[in-house]
Copies of this chain bind each other. A is one copy, B any other.
Amino acid sequence: MATVRLLSDEEAGADALAVFDDIRAKRQTDYINNFWRALAHDPALLRATWERVQAVMSPGALDPLVKELIYVAVSTANGCDYCVHSHTAAAKAKGMTPAQHGELLLVIAMAAQTNALATALSVPVDDRFRA
């Protein structure tokens, strides 16, 4: 289905397998999702991406669930079907309620609509919005 084969544990090299182990330990599940199996062809990229995702998505000034909602929003606007699915699932796992999902969709749709209007009208930025 993909442009590269998804590597099984048996096919993955030692460096990739070490990342799989870390994913399993941190997420407390045996399941490795397809994104990581596709990245396993390039163990350095696999490790860098996994470590970066953990750092970016951990609790900080923004709540992890809020970060997932933002992730879904970007993925929708970029038309990434895989990422829409994986981060909607992640948001549900972090407690997103159906009502929150509904409002997320409303904001994404509203933004898409006014983005289109502002672009079609080429509205100049108000001075007061500039830093």
Contact = CB atoms under 8 A, between A and B. Distances in A.
A45 interface: yes
- Give the size range of A's interface with the partner: 35 or more
A47 to B, nearest CB: 13
Interface string A36-53: 001101100100010011
A45 to B, nearest CB: 6
A131 B35 contact: no
B125 A82 contact: yes
Contact of A77 (B77, B85, B125): B77
Contact of A53 (B56, B89, B110, B128): B110
Nearest to A37: B123
Given A3-B85, A69-B66, A83-B118, A128 B78 contact: no
Given A74-B76, A79-B119, 20 more contacts: A2-B121, A2-B130, A3-B84, A34-B126, A41-B98, A56-B110, A57-B107, A74-B107, A78-B112, A81-B119, A81-B125, A84-B120, A85-B129, A89-B128, A89-B129, A105-B117, A105-B121, A109-B113, A109-B117, A112-B116
Contact of A78 (B31, B79, B86, B110): B79
